[in-house]
Amino acid sequence: MHVCMVEDDIRLAELVQQVLEENRHVVVHLESGEEAASYIAAHRFDAVLLDLMLPNVSGLTVLKEVRRANCQTPVIILSARDTVPEMVRALDIGADDYLTKPFHLDILLARLRSVVRRGPVSATVELVAGSISLDPKRCTARLDGRLLDLTRREYMLLETFVRRAGQVLTRDQLTDAVWGIIAEISNNNLDVHIHSLRTKLGRAGAMYIQTVRGIGYVLHAESRAS
């Protein structure tokens, strides 16, 4: 993986970078948040490790700017702030996962693997599966040219499906891709979002996204509805 780490604690950054490189990952280390957002948006990374308590420009500000630039690179927050409101705020702004300091490096490696399961950042302008087309840069989705009004979670869910059209995805894979492994969602939360996504796909929605009993869901590139 190609990872960007924004961390002003040099000793921690060196340790994390060493472990990541030992696991054959490429790491770019930034110490300040001042130029981090533009740098992340301008380069292709598989994941970002972002500290919240950065000098001058906070990690939350960086995260806001990254998402405002329609950059969907997975972001894992690394922070000593461990209160529920702090975590919820970061996740609501657009973080994919949240890891509190101190943390075990094996857990960090596992979190990295988790957030990139949805696939690498696409270099293509458009993702297409049958009549469904996505613009990852603008986070917009269309069906037969009709713009779909999706929430961020619904878009992430549809993008995960489109990137792996025809492949059966387990509930865990979908949950990790959209909420991150830190999230404690209810058993039916995924089903609710699937139902909402099907509804927004219209009459053919249930045929596009089919349930595979006991496993998960699969997106068919073309609806089988007449």
**36, 41, 99, 101, 157 from 57: Cα distances, Å:** 9, 16, 20, 20, 31
- Give the chain's domain count: 2
Domain CATH number, residue 153: 1.10.10.10
The pLDDT, as a whole number, for residue 224 is 46
pLDDT tens digits, 58-83: 999 999 888 887 788 899 999 998 88
The verdict on 137 and 215 lying in the same domain is yes
Are 98 and 155 members of one domain? Answer: no
Do 17 and 80 sit in the same domain of this protein? yes
Query: Is 155 in the same domain as 64?
Result: no
- Enter the tokens of residue 54: 């950065």
The domain boundary, picked from 90, 115, 140, lies at 115
Q: Based on the fold, state whether residues 195 and 96 are members of the same structural domain.
A: no
Residues 95 and 145 in one domain: no
* Residues 75, 96 contacting (CB under 8 angstroms): yes
> Mean pLDDT by 10-residue block, N- to C-terminus, for the chain (226 residues)?
91 93 91 85 88 90 86 90 87 89 91 74 66 82 90 86 88 76 65 92 80 91 52
For residue 205, the Cα-to-chain-centroid distance in whole angstroms is 23
Q: Are residues 142 and 90 in the same domain?
A: no
- The per-residue pLDDT for range 87-111, each reduced to its tens digit, is 888 988 889 899 999 899 999 999 8
Which residue is it, tokens 């878009």?
155
**224 in a structural domain:** no
Residue 26 domain boundaries? 2-115
CA dihedral over 159, 70, 197, 148, signed as positive or negative:
negative
58 with 156, same domain: the answer is no
Q: Are 40 and 65 in contact (CB under 8 A)?
A: no
